[in-house]
Amino acid sequence: MATRSWASTNVKASLVSVIILALFLTGWHLAVGGTGPTTKMDPEYAKLMGITATQGKSAMPGPMDVAAKLWEHLRDPFYDRGTNDKGLGIQLAYSVARVALGYLLAVLVAIPVGFLIGMSPLMSRALDPFIQILKPISPLAWMPLALYTIKDSGISAIFVIFICSLWPMLLNTAFGVSSVRREWINVAKTLELGPARTAFRVILPAAAPTIFTGMRISIGIAWLVIVAAEMLVGGTGIGYFVWNEWNNLSITNVIIAILTIGVVGMILDQGMARLQRMVAYAD
Amino acid sequence: MRTPFISVQGLKKSFPEPNGKGALTVFEDVWFGVEKGEFACIIGHSGCGKSTILNVLAGLDEATDGVIVVNNQHVMGPSLDRAVIFQGHALMPWLTALGNVELAVSSRHKEWTKAQVRDHAMRYLDLVHLTGSENKKPQQLSGGMKQRVGIARALSLEPQILLMDEPFSALDALTRGSLQDEVISIRAKTRQTTFMITHDVDEAMLLADKILLMTNGPNASVAEIVENTLPKDRSRIDLHKHPNYYPLRNHLIDFLVTRSKELRGVAPVGSEARRNPPIVRPALGGTTHAVAAAHQEQTREADGAALPPGRVSAA
């Protein structure tokens, strides 16, 4: 009985989702569709004015235009026809690679340092003022400094990802480690586990769900920031693609990029959610 | 004078007052001893510092003053020879029942192979009748089964002393009863030296050879040592039929209800009554008071033939 009502809720929800999508697409289609010839004008003049004026059609592409263009992109995602004309897949690969690098560097720093802060009240208090000041800084504010010191726009973007992914992981690791139950620590002590085995066999698994929550927040923020960072540094990546297509006045490609950013962000988040479930424990 | 196996000498715990002036003394000048193979139990109201005494004995807490000597060595920190059964089972929820016991075994015997560790852990899970549930995570086990894993984990260390901090207080009456039976049968095999905290008078009477009565805190102390006058082979079923049952029970209840309050601070710090608290044997036909020193000689003779503690004889 319980499973049946659950299944039927799922089916109903999917149905509602489909209806909402259909309504949205229809609304979009109607909103940008032409109203037919508006005013009679000289054909030469009409040619200059384009369909926006002559047919009452919006410059905004309709869902069919976007779908057609998207199909074109999906058919050949990895083409490379020079600096400003690379396939969507290549651009995404650049962005994902930058995020992965910056994020992994942040993991390597945040988890050990978070462990230290969580274990040592002294270090926690000593590092607290730095964290409090550095944490609220918009990651993009670091960009000029990064460009000046690193002198490489690609690495600067990676640095920006590093700095924005650092804080949630650092704070969550410190919190997870410091709030490991007293009794588990006591068990470790009475079993004479020693510092290394206590860290890896007791504290790490106990804090893992909290650490992974931080890692999930971080990957989300990193994916938000990479688009802005790539708009600034230019060259490659999905952020650069959005800005380049805006300069080309290709709203269709801008919309496709927006959609792709959303899908990739969702995949990253769901991947982390899966890892989070693997380390979760019920108490 | 000979020191007992566990010797608590002039133990004191105080905390600084929150306002920074003075200190709150939970207990002071606490003296008592536990012999090898003996089951000692401590009873007192909340706030008298029973748990602190146990934690100092476990090496998890430090006393403000005084020392504990176990087997002629000062207690300086935690040791595998003093295993603790915690009030809340304190199992690692990410490990299976077997994994929890194996963690303890592998720490005791670092040189053992995985198979050896596993066999040893399984033997102790079997001892507490958990064979078949070894691969379950703690959340899949009932409260009583979790505490059984806790007992198996502590016993698998084959410690010199077993410390139990109100081990069954979180369980329902039926489960508590069956676990008490378990402890009795394990003790019959191992003659494990045990120190337990409880609130439950009946539990103390069933399990303990010796019951330490603590006055109310702050400034608590051991007021009396009550010897269990019930037969050694007692069981839950016929316990209350013994003629000494009610004299003993009444004595303990009377202490908890009225005398724990009245006796607070009666024996001054540093007095003989603190060093050697009076020993009481409540029995039908009148309670006898004994001299502490004479008692110690007696127990030494009685325990001469005891089995080495902490070993399970032929599992």
Cβ atoms within 10 Å, residue B297: 11
Residue of A nearest to B138 (CA): A283
> Nearest Cβ partner of A283 from B77, B86, B139?
B139
Q: Does A276 have pLDDT greater than 90?
A: yes
Which residues on chain B are in Cβ contact (under 8 Å) with A186? 58, 60, 84, 86, 90
Contact B64, B13 (CB under 8 A): yes
pLDDT the model gives residue B252: 93
**Is the predicted pLDDT of residue B298 greater than 70, yes or no?**
no
Cα separation of B198 and B169, whole Å? 8
Give the residue from chain A lying closest to B158, CA to CA: A191
| Closest residue in chain A to residue B150, using alpha carbons only | A187
Nearest CA in chain B to A190: B78
- State which residue of chain B sits closest to A193, comparing Cα positions: B107
Report how far apart, in Å, the C-alpha atoms of B145 and of each of B149, B223, B226 are. 6, 36, 32
pLDDT tens-digit series, residues A136-166: 999 999 999 999 999 998 899 999 999 999 9
Q: Count Cα atoms within 13 angstroms, Cβ side, for B17.
A: 7
First to last CA, chain B: 38
Question: pLDDT digit string (tens) for B126-160?
Answer: 989 999 999 999 999 999 999 999 999 999 999 99
DSSP-assigned states of every residue in A79-135: -B-STT-B-HHHHHHHHHHHHHHHHHHHHHHHHHHHHHHHH-HHHHHHHHHHHHHHT
3 state DSSP class of B147:
helix
Kindly determine whether residue A190 and residue B83, on different chains, have CB atoms separated by under 8 Å.
Answer: yes
**B150: which chain A residues are within 8 Å (Cβ-Cβ)?**
none
Partner-chain contact A187 B78, CB within 8 Å: no
Alpha helices in A135-199 (DSSP H): 143-150, 153-178, 182-190, 194-197
Interface test with B, best of A190, A198, A211 (most B CBs within 10 A): A190
Q: Judge: B107–A183 Cβ closer than 8 Å, yes or no.
A: no
Residue of B nearest to A188 (CA): B104
Q: Say if B104 is an interface residue toward chain A (CB within 8 Å).
A: yes
Q: Is the Cα torsion angle B264, B269, B275, B276 positive or negative in sign?
A: negative
B58 touches chain A (CB under 8 A): yes
- Tell me the percentage of chain A whose pLDDT exceeds 90: 72
Report the gap between the CA of A72 and the closest CA in chain B (Å): 49
B94–A contact, CB cutoff 8 A: yes
Encode pLDDT of A31-66 as tens digits: 887 666 666 777 777 777 666 666 666 778 889 889
Length of chain A: 283
pLDDT confidence band for B302 (50 / 70 / 90)? very low
Q: What's the pLDDT score for residue A55?
A: 67
Q: Is the pLDDT confidence value at A168 over 50?
A: yes
Supply the ipTM of this predicted assembly: 0.84
B61 reaches A (C-beta below 8 A): no
Look at residue A80 and tell me whether its pLDDT is greater than 50: yes
Mutation target among A191, A202, A277 for the B interface, most CBs of B within 10 A: A191
Q: Does B296 touch chain A (CB under 8 A)?
A: no
A192–B107 C-beta distance less than 8 A: yes
> DSSP assignment of B54-77, as one string?
HHHHHTSS--SEEEEEETTEE--S
Nearest to A205 among B79, B94, B139 (CB): B94
For chain A, say whether B56 makes contact (Cβ under 8 Å).
no
Which is nearest to B179 in space by CA: B81, B80, B255, B89?
B89
CA distance A99 to chain B (A): 31
| B92:A206 CB<8 A | yes
CB contact under 8 A, A201 and B103: yes
Q: Give the model's pLDDT for residue B296.
A: 45
Q: Is B76 on the interface with A (CB under 8 A)?
A: no
In chain A, residues with a C-beta closer than 8 Å to the C-beta of B93 are: 281-283
Query: What's the pLDDT score for residue B311?
Result: 39
B133 touches chain A (CB under 8 A): no
d(CA A135, CA A167): 6
Q: Chain A contact for B92, CB < 8 A?
A: yes
Are the Cβ atoms of A189 and B107 closer than 8 angstroms?
no
